[in-house]
Structure 1
Amino acid sequence: MTTGEEIFWQNARRILWDMQMLRLDPAHGAAVDIVRWCLLIRGRPTHHRQAFLERESPALLAYLEKLASCGEPQGWRTLEERVRFRLRVLREYDMQPCARPWLAAIWHTLPEMAALGQAILDRKSEIQDLAPDVALLASDAATGTGGDGDKGSAGKAGSATSNKPHSPRRLEFPPVPVVATEAEKKALDLEDVSEITNTKTDVVPDGPDTGNGTAGPKPPGGKP
């Protein structure tokens, strides 16, 4: 393990400590830290962060890369609004008190990000089935790359891993229905998508003990 990787996982464990969720796999802390970092710099995951999401959650990677490539500040604001909503719910119901409630709110929002990212991937797949030439252009737009053969991180992840056996993922999210706002649909190029649900996994992450029956992230608008 390189020094950079050691720091990456140290930060992930520190995130879990700050959220008082040490029973979770450090992969969850890593995902929260990646989203926090992307919001801070208004950019896509790179280096160890990119490699981690390529392996553990291509849907979350697709979502963050699309926000970074849309070129509009409004895209990142839609993510901030989702996290703020979770933060208000946590505070209103006195759920999961911890030193860094903003990080806990990000964790509760991860399934929604993954669902939106899966919708992006599904849309690209549908375009590929209909017209391979159009699919290449859509892939370039989604990853912020040109048409010169550079596939970007999402494209590289697909080509590098398509023929390799996959080990079980440490980062799984429950399927949740997501009602995308008009601003989100515009930023993510999902304006013609009426229903968004992450149905690729039915694994619910092992949530924190909060004393009130809350075991993990809930869908938007659902009763906490």
Structure 2
Amino acid sequence: MKTGEQIFWQNAADTLKQINMPDHDLLHGAAVEVVRWCLNVRGRPTHHRLTFLEQESPALLAYLESLAASENDQGWRTLKERIERNAEALRRTEMHPCARPWLAAIRHTLPELAVLGQNILDRIAEDVARDDKLVPVVSETRGGTTGDGDKGSTGKAGSAGTTAKPRPIPRLSLPVVAVEPTAAERKVLDLVGDKDKVEETESDAAPDSPDGTNDTTRPNGPSGVGGPK
């Protein structure tokens, strides 16, 4: 009897055969199989699928888990729409004839999903870095041990890094492509596009004055508009 892991990799190999790429990297067949399964069940990857993405493509895992965390099927619809666009392009150009064109379309969509997933990871990293800056530092006179940094609060924080296990280097190689998230994707994946960032920056740059108007000529202190640089 085959184990679950053996079945997973057999499905990956079968996927490559069905899209006329039997000699291609088996990792790509596994990634296609994971995306296909998650879309079918409308859920996050589990068991060997989860283990595979944790080791080989954290970005793709972040994307799929974000879809699974959404409260409705809107996220899965955005995934299906991306695949359908690639499927239509493949049909129109006859670029990838095969027995399972839908799986081939998923294969061509993987780079886009990985980019969206990396955007999610980058946002999470930025949030963590911002939160770390807000954590108060305990001075040695109030809680640390004077004269021995290794035993103070900063020493404890440093020791945590030495015990963390290094992650294996992901082996799933996907080309980096330019991806513009749709409005629905930005909402579901909690992403902020460049246009939104510009609007937020412009809004922050012109704070309301005490009389309720946006007076950009009035000094607002050392760091405000009109103050000394």
**TM score, norm. by length of structure 2:** 0.69
Summarize the Cα distance change of 1:59–1:103 in structure 2 as closer, same or farther, 3 Å threshold.
same
Aligned to 2:190: 189
Measured after TM superposition, the shift of residue 49 of structure 1 is 0.2
Unaligned runs of 5+ in 2: 135-160, 196-229
Summarize the Cα distance change of 1:162–1:80 in structure 2 as closer, same or farther, 3 Å threshold.
farther
Aligned to 1:24: 24
Question: Aligned partners of 2:133, 2:66: CA distance in 1, in Å?
Answer: 20
1:157-199 C-alpha deviation (Å, 9 max, x unpaired): xx9x9522625x3311111110110001000001x2328xxxx
Aligned to 2:91: 91
Aligned to 1:174: 175
Q: Percent identity?
A: 56
Is contact 1:86-1:108 (8 Å) kept? yes
Aligned to 1:163: 165
Measured after TM superposition, the shift of residue 102 of structure 1 is 0.1
Aligned to 2:58: 58
Measured after TM superposition, the shift of residue 25 of structure 1 is 1.1
Q: Which has the larger radius of gyration?
A: 2
Alignment of 1:123-138 (within 5 A): 123-132=123-132
Relative contact order higher in (CA < 8 Å, ≥ 6 apart):
1
Aligned to 2:49: 49
Question: Aligned partners of 1:65, 1:110: CA distance in 2, in Å?
Answer: 15
Summarize the Cα distance change of 1:94–1:39 in structure 2 as closer, same or farther, 3 Å threshold.
same
Is contact 2:28-2:172 (8 Å) kept? yes
Aligned to 2:40: 40
Is contact 2:42-2:76 (8 Å) kept? yes
Is contact 1:59-1:118 (8 Å) kept? yes
Question: Aligned partners of 1:42, 1:67: CA distance in 2, in Å?
Answer: 8
Aligned to 1:101: 101
Aligned length: 167
Aligned to 1:81: 81
Question: Aligned partners of 1:115, 1:176: CA distance in 2, in Å?
Answer: 7
Is contact 1:115-1:176 (8 Å) kept? yes
Unaligned runs of 5+ in 1: 135-158, 196-224
Is contact 1:62-1:121 (8 Å) kept? yes
Question: Aligned partners of 1:130, 1:24: CA distance in 2, in Å?
Answer: 42
**TM score, norm. by length of structure 1:** 0.71
Is contact 1:12-1:29 (8 Å) kept? yes
Secondary structure at the counterpart of residue 177 of structure 1: coil
Is contact 1:19-1:103 (8 Å) kept? yes
Is contact 2:18-2:100 (8 Å) kept? yes
Is contact 1:56-1:170 (8 Å) kept? yes
Measured after TM superposition, the shift of residue 124 of structure 1 is 0.3
Summarize the Cα distance change of 1:50–1:162 in structure 2 as closer, same or farther, 3 Å threshold.
farther
Is contact 1:54-1:61 (8 Å) kept? yes
* Partner amino acid, structure 1, of 2:23: R
Is contact 1:63-1:113 (8 Å) kept? yes
1:110-153 C-alpha deviation (Å, 9 max, x unpaired): 0000000000000000001101499xxxxxxxxxxxxxxxxxxx
Aligned to 1:156: none
Is contact 1:25-1:170 (8 Å) kept? no
Question: Aligned partners of 1:162, 1:12: CA distance in 2, in Å?
Answer: 32
Aligned to 1:111: 111
Summarize the Cα distance change of 1:51–1:133 in structure 2 as closer, same or farther, 3 Å threshold.
farther
Moved over 4 A (4+): none
